[in-house]
Amino acid sequence: MIQPKVKICFVLSHLPQGGAERQTLNLIRMLDPSRFEVTLILYANQEIFYKEIDELNVHIISCSSYSKSKLIKNLKGAIFLRKILSHNQFDLIHTLLFHNGLWVRLLAPVQYSGRIIYSIRNSLEQYSFFERSVEKLLHGRSVTVTNSHFVLEQYKKIVGDCASESCQTIYNGIETEKFRTTETPFLSDTIVIGTVGRQTPLKNQIQILRAVNKLSEEVTVHTFIIGDNDQGSWQINNAFIEANKIADKVTIMDSQKDIENYYKRFNIFILSSIYESCPNALFEAMLSRCLCIVSSGSNKDKFVRDGYNGFEYDGSDSDLIEKLRKVIKLLGSECAENIQKNAQEYVSSNFSMAKMTDSYIELYSSLVRAKEVS
């Protein structure tokens, strides 16, 4: 007997460049079209950065209305989302990020209760009173998935201890073959340091600039900061560069589609975020054979074991500078080669797209079975 396809609906506000959006795209790509009928709702606007989605077996429903008023825009998007969810009979709804989780859990008709998957991708450190209240209020409408054990514990503290059926951890999946390389970044007289991520206070790229500014008195370095430059920290970073006259030693770039080519140029990758949950950029850099230095706030799940597959610093400028000095001395050595090998093997074993997808398919299947029993 042929089993009917599972009708799964992914919901996002739109599809700009970003980790959540890329995860959605990769999940859709990995789902077997003979088992899943996939719909993607873009309820805020029709923006699509990842044009390759047009080549996938997915039905896209997007809201075309536009308004300069944020309030009116949100209301139109909410009405559009409610209408689409009411007029269709999906087996499952999967959404990511707080604002999408808010609207989906608030507006989805009652028959979807217990069949909504809500993926949290960020640390909850700075959740406001409103955001915490929303999580408590709407938790019962969804199965919540965090992408690190640290964030899962944060979530449990907010909503109260929850059963494994209603909240669990599934780590991010990385396109391992896209980033994995057998060649170590070329080592020249100029040491190339890089970081990738939105230019926000949270990502803390200004600390990297302070550290390399100090370090440039000792060695020749060039630093790349790559990430969205409309997030509020671009001016701060640029002002520091101008004030310290290091424009010839730093390149700031907006998001790059061919980011894997930049990782291959970095001798050292730094993740300086004040906190992270499951940082894709770190894993991509590890696969690309960069020697990685990560802040303790970005390493809550101990992805990096200091001296084994990378290096951790305590979050201070002074410790970052000391770790940079240590790593620079290791460049090109047998010890560095072992660390790079350990890093690649660790990411390949734990953060593949296949592993993440299998975990989500297992979750999807359990929810469908529960629906059939009820």
Residue 284 CB-half CA count within 13 A: 24
Contact 164, 233 (CB under 8 A): no
pLDDT tens digits, residue range 133-184?
999 999 999 999 999 999 999 999 999 878 777 899 999 999 999 999 999 9
Residue 2 has pLDDT above 90, yes or no: no
pLDDT, greater one: 80 or 49:
80
Task: Give the DSSP letter string of 17-79.
Answer: SSHHHHHHHHHHHHS-TTTEEEEEEE-S---BS-GGGGGSSEEEEE-----S-HHHHHHHHHH
For residues 88 and 237, membership in a common domain is answered with no
From residue 327, how far is each of 205, 225, 322 by CA, in Å? 19, 19, 9
Which one, of 251, 260, 337, lies nearest residue 291 by Cα? 337
For residues 227 and 292, membership in a common domain is answered with yes
Tokens for 207, please give them: 């600390």
Q: How confident is the model at residue 371 (pLDDT cuts 50, 70, 90)?
A: confident
CA distance 226 to 237: 12
Q: Rank 50-54, 74-78, 108-112 by mean pLDDT and report only the highest.
A: 108-112
For residues 166 and 81, membership in a common domain is answered with yes
Residue 257 has pLDDT above 90, yes or no: no
Contact 108, 86 (CB under 8 A): no
Ranges assigned E (strand) in the chain: 6-12, 36-42, 58-62, 92-96, 116-120, 142-146, 167-169, 191-196, 221-226, 250-253, 268-271, 291-295, 311-313
Q: For the chain, how are helix, strand and coil distributed in percent, rounded to 5?
A: 45, 20, 35
Residue 283 maps to a domain: yes
Residue 288 has pLDDT above 90, yes or no: yes
Q: Could you give the maximum distance between any two Cα atoms of the chain, in Å?
A: 72
Query: Per the structure, how many domains does the chain have?
Result: 2
Residue 228 maps to a domain: yes
* Rg (alpha carbons) of the chain, rounded to whole number: 22
For residues 285 and 143, membership in a common domain is answered with no
pLDDT tens digits, residue range 206-252?
999 999 999 999 999 999 999 887 666 788 899 999 999 999 999 99
For residues 61 and 41, membership in a common domain is answered with yes
Residue 1 maps to a domain: no
For residues 151 and 203, membership in a common domain is answered with no
What pLDDT is stored for residue 1 in this prediction? 58
Contact 320, 207 (CB under 8 A): yes
Q: Please, which residues have CB within 8 angstroms of residue 330's CB and are 6 or more apart in sequence?
A: 291, 336, 339
For residues 146 and 264, membership in a common domain is answered with no
Residue 176 CB-half CA count within 13 A: 16
Any idea what the CATH number is for the domain that residue 293 is in? 3.40.50.2000
Residue 22 maps to a domain: yes
For residues 217 and 293, membership in a common domain is answered with yes
For residues 138 and 189, membership in a common domain is answered with no
β-strand 167-169 against 191-196: which pairing, if any?
unpaired
- Per DSSP, 224 falls in state E
Residue 299 maps to a domain: yes
| 3-state SS class at 275 | coil
For residues 246 and 360, membership in a common domain is answered with no
For residues 362 and 345, membership in a common domain is answered with no
For residues 96 and 131, membership in a common domain is answered with yes
Contact 51, 25 (CB under 8 A): no
Domain assignment of residue 39, given as a range: 6-173+352-373
Residue 335 maps to a domain: yes
